[in-house]
A and B are shown apart, each in its own frame.
Chain A
């Protein structure tokens, strides 16, 4: 067993639940022992850097400090989300590159009785760990249901292979690691020149036409090359291509149907694990065709919840799913 400190990141618990579920399911067979950082916080994604530098890095560094405090012998941190991986690696790298900057981040951490020695942890992306630490031979040994005939697009997105501060990848623009993994699983790897092009990131929230065009390019090429499914290593890429595919179709008047799964879901499928355990069915653009192609029974669709009868209440009919202190806190944030 190889021990790793896991930094899951916010989306693994929500939007990318399928990624977390499938990661948990495949980690045991390949001997990956993950220990989640206790009380980790958000990495700030791509939002905090543009607001204020020192707080943005201090936010990330709190996770690094907690990870080294709880490390228990291992120095390796693994992040499955691209943005989380990049932010942790970036904070560590800049604290090393510019010691004065490192000292100021540590000064901020000291206010919370924490500290982090730059370079004391090794930050890895999950795919890197699976390919280079665990090894494709171990993966191969677990394959009991090869993904024969399944045409898969290896889509990495941008933030895993770039900027690659610690030189972990075979190439910044055309890395082959994901292709190798998919071949090991028995899949047919689609030649896909846009494999490290950006999915649009947060542009869906800021400048939708910019984002839709970026999403369209990726899906159109996958479709043109007759892919059955795309696969990704990043929650943001999955959300943009899966979640916003409908709105993109609406915007351009197209009718694409291109499912996208996390690479761990395909691993689990090849390992013979039940699709339900791997988060199949959570995607908005259904990937049933993937299961059909390799002859696996799809998990039953969750029936839609019956419509609730309006409760008779005194006063205004307000929904009350939020807890009061949280509502107050939310109001503060929104009106800020």
Chain B
């Protein structure tokens, strides 16, 4: 969607007269803390500060305009939240103090929920990482890397080999996961947290 299309879709006389802010409000409500998302003035400082904007299909500014316009599917299909590297450059420069990085996290979660991710690499990586943490209480690089690479980057394995061997021979990667003592406690906490998340 281009900027021109965005403008025309919001100024179309046949479209709803009142702005429908349901989507914008939903994203804000699902974001931790006070996101200030509604305060965006479309200045574009975020995209201009972003080190990975070149690989995004929409800049953060445009994505926020899409949320305001209620374009749910287009917004959740966007690769922007997945390309975000969580460097907080935009956050410290935003004149409206919008928690942009956290909004991106919210959009990731909503995209997974709506099954609108265009590429499964990033969501799978997060899921696999979290799967290890939910099982052991600690991250487990060896398991994560092997599961992830085999599924998504089998062709990368040869060029990865020297690094993997280096990490293993220097004992910078464990062959077996470490498990915390009170795994039951952590599981109980996470179970309750998931229930709480569901009723929100």
Contact = CB atoms under 8 A, between A and B. Distances in A.
Interface of A: 10-11, 13-17, 39-42, 44-55, 57-59, 62, 90, 93-94, 97-98, 101, 104-105, 107-114, 158-159, 162-164, 172-173, 197-198, 200-203, 205-210, 214, 243-244, 246-247, 250, 281-282, 284, 302, 304-305, 321-323, 326, 329-330, 332-334, 336
A111 B189 contact: yes
B190 A55 contact: yes
Q: State the main secondary structure of chain B at its contact with A.
A: helix
A16 B167 CA distance: 10
B130 A47 contact: yes
Contacts of B116: none
Interface of B: 30-34, 51-52, 55, 81-83, 85-89, 91-92, 101-102, 104-106, 108-109, 112, 121-123, 125-139, 141, 143, 145, 147-148, 153, 156, 159-160, 162-163, 166-167, 169-182, 185-186, 188-194, 196-197, 200
A44 B52 contact: no
Given A41-B180, A52-B109, A304 B169 contact: yes
A108 B196 contact: yes
B170 A282 contact: yes
A78 to B, nearest CB: 19
A329 B81 CA distance: 31
A48 B130 contact: yes
B39 to A, nearest CB: 15
B178 to A, nearest CB: 7
B172 A14 contact: yes
Given A101-B33, A107-B196, A333 B167 contact: no
Contacts of A203: 52, 83, 85
Contact of B138 (A10, A107, A205, A329): A10
Contact of B192 (A10, A111, A164, A333): A111
Given A206-B82, A282-B172, A94 B192 contact: no
B3 to A, nearest CB: 24
B125 A202 contact: yes
Contacts of B52: 198, 203, 210, 214
B193 A197 contact: no
B127 A336 contact: yes
Given A45-B129, A55-B197, A159-B87, A50 B108 contact: yes
Q: Which 6 A-B pairs have the closest CB atoms?
A: A50-B108, A111-B192, A198-B87, A162-B88, A158-B87, A108-B193
B146 to A, nearest CB: 9
Nearest to A336: B131
B137 A49 contact: no
Nearest to B111: A50
Given A98-B34, A207-B55, A326-B176, A333 B143 contact: yes
Given A44-B133, A54-B196, A111-B192, A198 B85 contact: yes
16 contacts: A42-B139, A51-B109, A52-B194, A57-B193, A59-B193, A108-B190, A111-B189, A158-B88, A162-B87, A173-B89, A206-B125, A208-B153, A209-B55, A247-B159, A304-B169, A330-B135
Contact of B92 (A162, A329, A336): A162
A31 B128 CA distance: 40
Nearest to B122: A206
Contacts of A247: 159-160, 163
Contacts of A46: 86
Given A108-B193, A330-B143, A201 B188 contact: no
Contacts of B162: 246
Contacts of B102: 49
Contacts of A162: 87-89, 91-92
Contacts of B51: 197-198, 214
Contacts of B34: 97-98
A104 B196 contact: yes
B32 A57 contact: yes
Chain B CB within 10 A, most for which of A90, A164, A205, A284:
A205
Given A41-B133, A55-B193, A205-B148, A334 B200 contact: no
Given A53-B31, A214-B85, 6 more contacts: A17-B171, A51-B108, A107-B192, A108-B192, A210-B52, A243-B166
